[in-house]
Structure 1
Amino acid sequence: MIYGYSMIGINPPFPALPVGFASATRKLSLVKGDLFAQCFYLEDNETKLCFITLDSLGVSHDIQSAFEQIVHNVLGYDVTLILSSSHTHYAPSLANAMGFVFADADYVRFVCDRLHIMLSKLNLREHPLIITHHTSTNSEIGRSRLSHLGDEFVTLSVISFYHQNTRLGHWVVYNCHPTILPEDSLYLSSDYIGVFMEEMKRSYPNEFTMFFQGAAGDISTRFTRKEKSYEEVIRMGRLLKKAVDTVLESSLKKSELRLTYKHHSIPLSHQFKSIQSLSIPEGISDKEKREFEQGAKMIENLANHPEHLLPEASIEEVCFGPVTLFFQPFELFSSYQKYTNKQKIIIGYSQGIGSYVTELQPKFPSYESLMETISSANKKQLIRIFKPSSTRRKADTQ
């Protein structure tokens, strides 16, 4: 097994506009919670994968194509890029998406330069690798922000990599929107994820940590944060670190890393909803009312920019032997994890940036269901990919 890790800062050296909220209109220079790019390279026989994570809202396919060219130029044209974003709402734009998010051309060029440097510094080694993995529920940081959904699919997964008895680093997957800071924050930020990464580096200085955002479409800190402030960012980041510490202190089964990879592609059928078509219940909160109003405007913007819609969804299925990961582009509701098991992990905001994907048959209207554009048939195709192979056939009838 050939492997390597590298990271680099991507704080913009110029004022830039954070793009997670439509209300953000002010370019910012101050950063609290640094933005980073990270890379982990794995090669086994003919399979060559370059995993890159970015502290960004998401990366659209047109920008990812530029990043792929850099990977090919530095590492070779037979290397597959699997690109993921933390989904922080307080970073400059690397996407043309959702009808109101447009890429910051200067920042795209800057990140391209930084990725080239990061990949050029990748130190490759060749050793057999061993992994441990653990998945559990954890609703200390994130909870479902929709009252009719529960917290049973707020999950923390930790994969640790070893060479013999030396622990090299970790992949941490947690599904919770990084939206603790106020919408009108005066600084760019990686939110709770940045604090978590700092705490991990402090406790494990010789080990790398990569964070991946899970199926977080309905999960946020709305009901767990005390306020929207950087103090809460720190508290939540430390809570996540404490949860990971508990996993790392436990005795877990070690298995040989055996790398396999499969690409799935789903042609997407899009349709727009109107707020008039939804049966919005009486008695919803003022915040929910504002979200519906904002969603109606955003859908109108998206209809005016059909080029922002994904024509197809790329899902990358990566198996490490005892655990399989699915990298997919959507703001997927956490309940899609019921179609998997503890040996399968769903990662969102990867290989493009897609719409919300609510339950297969939503029981109640929500801002997220208003923003959703893909069809029920597309949802069933996703489920078939996620399901363990012995049960995939059943998805067609559900």
Structure 2
Amino acid sequence: MKYSTTTISITPTFKIKQAGFIQQTEEISRVHDDLNARIVSFQQSDLTVYLISCDNLGFPITVQTEIKQRCETALNKKCEVILSCTHTHFGADPKNENYQNFCIDKITEACVNLVYTDGDLEYSYLYESYDEVGLSRISNHKANVLLQILSIFDNKKRVINFITYNCHPTIMNGDTPFFSAEYPGYIIKKLTTSNPNEFFTFMQGADGDISTRFTRKSQDYDGVIHLGNLLINKIHNSLCNEYTLLPFTSFCFSSICVPLTHSLAPLDLSVMPSNLSPRELETIEVGIKVRNHLLENLDTLDKEVIVSCLKIGNIHFIFEPNELFSFYINAIDLENSILVCYSNGYSPYVTGFDDNFITYEKFTDTLSLESKYNLYNTVHALSKS
């Protein structure tokens, strides 16, 4: 099995607005910490696969498709590309055409020029609940907060680590006037510094109902450092645990297109609890505006989403574009599956089957119950494939 890794900067070199908060309307150029694209590639005789994790809110699927087509043309061979995003709210606007082209050019060039190592590969996998960084951001609601680590070994030495943690990177305030990779970028930088012979990448899990709203001590970069260090310590401790190595001699890739239908029934505000936090009330007001915008632009709602699975040994990496609530983790077998969101494009929140609370997320979730069942069952089927 051949493998390769690299990290490139996708920090914009021109003024552009951020994306993630409604107040981010001004173009900026100030950079606090680099925005990166981390690339892991595996190659076997008939297929090359690229797993790309970008410090961005979420690119449209057209960006992923263009990178795939360019790689196949340049290399004259079949490629599969999964473009995932960490969902930082302080990256560059992913809808900006100039920035899309900037990233497509840089990522494609990096993928095409990768140098591969022919390794004797094995893997280890662990998972555990960990909610000191992220908790449910909805009062009176329990979320499933999960840390998962898939490590790849070459000749018994750990060379690649996939870190998946399902918590929104929204520690800092929405008025933050600079670009930042937030806590995912911070932990990757620190882990790489302390483990210079290993490659680390971060993938965002099903975090629709999870954030730092009730765990952060401050909404600035000091807050990022505080919570980032908690997660780093947890990851270090986990990597020191005993592990079992299993062979990684091949991989397989599959995708399923899931058609979507929508239901835009009015939400009953009378069921809104009386003990919501000020931040929850504030976001609900924003949610009402978003819902009205959706009602006026029904043609923009997704007609379908692509759900993909990369099977590494016995581990199923399942990639999906929505901001899924952690309820959808129930669809996978945690012993052998990792659910990654903000991949194959970017799509809105999807709450659980019978979540009857009123939150910002409910206003942006337009999927019919039938479509939610279809998404859940697709993820479940891929977890068992």
Calculate the TM-score normalised by the size of structure 1: 0.91
Distance 1:285 1:168, change over 3 A: closer
Per-residue CA distance 1:18-52 (angstroms, 9 max, x = gap): 01011111211111221001211112343432111
What SS does the corresponding residue of 2:71 show, helix, strand or coil? helix
What SS does the corresponding residue of 2:330 show, helix, strand or coil? helix
> Which residue does the alignment assign to 2:187?
196
1:149 aligns with 2:105: no
> Following the alignment from structure 2 to structure 1, what is the Cα–Cα distance between the partners of residues 73 and 170?
35
> Which residue does the alignment assign to 2:359?
366
Distance 1:348 1:389, change over 3 A: closer
Distance 1:208 1:308, change over 3 A: farther
The answer on whether the counterparts of 1:20 and 1:88 sit within 8 Å (CA) in structure 2 is: yes
Decide which of 108, 124, 136 is 2:128's aligned counterpart. 136
The answer on whether the counterparts of 2:318 and 2:383 sit within 8 Å (CA) in structure 1 is: no
Decide which of 224, 242, 247 is 1:251's aligned counterpart. 242
What SS does the corresponding residue of 1:148 show, helix, strand or coil? coil
Decide which of 366, 369, 375 is 1:382's aligned counterpart. 375
What SS does the corresponding residue of 2:200 show, helix, strand or coil? strand
> Which residue does the alignment assign to 2:164?
173
Per-residue CA distance 1:343-374 (angstroms, 9 max, x = gap): 21110000011111111111322211121011
Distance 1:261 1:389, change over 3 A: closer
> Following the alignment from structure 1 to structure 2, what is the Cα–Cα distance between the partners of residues 212 and 389?
18
> Which residue does the alignment assign to 1:113?
105
One-letter amino acid of the structure 1 residue matched with residue 79 of structure 2: V
The answer on whether the counterparts of 1:87 and 1:178 sit within 8 Å (CA) in structure 2 is: yes
> Following the alignment from structure 2 to structure 1, what is the Cα–Cα distance between the partners of residues 324 and 237?
27
Q: How do 1:323-342 and structure 2 match up within 5 A?
A: 323-342=315-334
Decide which of 337, 346, 349 is 2:339's aligned counterpart. 346
The answer on whether the counterparts of 2:139 and 2:276 sit within 8 Å (CA) in structure 1 is: no
What is the number of residues matched between the two proteins? Answer: 383
> Following the alignment from structure 1 to structure 2, what is the Cα–Cα distance between the partners of residues 238 and 311?
40
> Following the alignment from structure 2 to structure 1, what is the Cα–Cα distance between the partners of residues 208 and 270?
19
Per-residue CA distance 1:70-127 (angstroms, 9 max, x = gap): 3323344510111100000011122xxxxxxxx1122122212211331233112223
One-letter amino acid of the structure 1 residue matched with residue 222 of structure 2: E
What SS does the corresponding residue of 1:49 show, helix, strand or coil? strand
Distance 1:183 1:80, change over 3 A: same
Distance 1:21 1:229, change over 3 A: same
| Offset at residue 318 of structure 1 (A) | 1.5
> Following the alignment from structure 1 to structure 2, what is the Cα–Cα distance between the partners of residues 139 and 277?
30
**Once structures 1 and 2 are overlaid, which stretch shifts more, 270-279 or 259-268?**
270-279
What SS does the corresponding residue of 1:237 show, helix, strand or coil? helix
> Which residue does the alignment assign to 2:33?
33
| Offset at residue 273 of structure 1 (A) | 4.4
Distance 1:19 1:32, change over 3 A: same
1:225 aligns with 2:212: no
The answer on whether the counterparts of 1:145 and 1:223 sit within 8 Å (CA) in structure 2 is: yes
Distance 1:390 1:326, change over 3 A: closer
Per-residue CA distance 1:303-354 (angstroms, 9 max, x = gap): 3444542221101012112321110011001121122222211100000111
| Offset at residue 67 of structure 1 (A) | 2.6
Higher strand share: 2
The answer on whether the counterparts of 2:20 and 2:89 sit within 8 Å (CA) in structure 1 is: yes
Decide which of 246, 253, 259 is 1:261's aligned counterpart. 253
| Offset at residue 179 of structure 1 (A) | 0.6
The answer on whether the counterparts of 2:258 and 2:304 sit within 8 Å (CA) in structure 1 is: yes
> Which residue does the alignment assign to 1:97?
none
> Which residue does the alignment assign to 1:294?
286
| Offset at residue 288 of structure 1 (A) | 2.3
Distance 1:82 1:198, change over 3 A: same
What SS does the corresponding residue of 1:63 show, helix, strand or coil? helix
The answer on whether the counterparts of 1:340 and 1:386 sit within 8 Å (CA) in structure 2 is: yes
One-letter amino acid of the structure 2 residue matched with residue 7 of structure 1: T
One-letter amino acid of the structure 2 residue matched with residue 299 of structure 1: R
- Identity across the alignment (%): 30
Decide which of 115, 120, 129 is 1:123's aligned counterpart. 115
What SS does the corresponding residue of 2:18 show, helix, strand or coil? coil
Calculate the TM-score normalised by the size of structure 2: 0.94
| Offset at residue 379 of structure 1 (A) | 1.4
Distance 1:64 1:278, change over 3 A: farther
In the alignment, structure 2 segments of 5+ residues that lack a partner are none
> What do you get for the CA RMSD once the two structures are aligned?
2.0
| Offset at residue 275 of structure 1 (A) | 4.5
One-letter amino acid of the structure 2 residue matched with residue 296 of structure 1: I
> Following the alignment from structure 2 to structure 1, what is the Cα–Cα distance between the partners of residues 72 and 270?
46
Distance 1:386 1:287, change over 3 A: same
> Following the alignment from structure 1 to structure 2, what is the Cα–Cα distance between the partners of residues 198 and 279?
44
> Which residue does the alignment assign to 2:207?
216
In the alignment, structure 1 segments of 5+ residues that lack a partner are 95-102, 393-398
> Which residue does the alignment assign to 2:22?
22
> Which residue does the alignment assign to 2:57?
57
**Once structures 1 and 2 are overlaid, which stretch shifts more, 305-314 or 289-298?**
305-314
Decide which of 300, 303, 313 is 1:311's aligned counterpart. 303
| Offset at residue 15 of structure 1 (A) | 1.6
> Following the alignment from structure 1 to structure 2, what is the Cα–Cα distance between the partners of residues 368 and 195?
27
> Which residue does the alignment assign to 1:237?
228
